[in-house]
Structure 1
């Protein structure tokens, strides 16, 4: 299991910082996200929870890998036909789209060209193309 560590800053009074917090497990997922849950043929499960993509396995969903890279909550999610690649797009202004290497959980590519949210992502059947649609915010 992969744990994510969050270390809070110490107080200005000179007191020691509180103990580190470790994320060991996530329960639940972001159901409003397009394509938020995907099960691959090998039993790997990928799903979105807030700003993270979580990888686990149907035989033991408590063993989780937290795939971090977004600053804002994820708005769209897709997995390629082979299950080797996943793409996630975040909400908010100046949003990123991340392509993930599913077996390693690492960021493969990051696209920072969307002005206001990545509303939808999809892979082509041959996995050579990825399409993304940005949101629109009228600031007039």
Structure 2
């Protein structure tokens, strides 16, 4: 059992507020492939957007199992005068799940609306050209397990 588990409320807050996370997939060579991503958390799923082609998408098509991680560094915790006795106060969430591409244009638009609300709320209510929606890849990550932990200040 973790010494400092993050509550469900704190997990939700971290997944809602943090702007950048990391997505891990398995490369064609069997090695992990990790990339920073912008994301939104809605309907108990993670959504990631980007181009409709690339290494992470090829990896997901080959093997839908992925890892996802997000953290917030709160600060350094100095326990003593020695350099080795410093720790980091943080909150983090680790998710394992299955990823798939969304093809439906209406579903893609709904996810893009969520991205706009999170990252550029001043543009809420705008529309998306059909060509842009078509060339945008939306990954839907269905969560199989989700854990969070923290280290206190």
- Asked if Structure 1 and Structure 2 have the same fold, meaning a TM-score greater than 0.5 normalized by the shorter chain, the answer is no
Larger RCO: 1 or 2 (CA < 8 Å, sep 6+): 2
Structure with greater strand share of residues: 1
Structure with greater helix share of residues: 2
Which structure's CA Rg is the greater one?
2
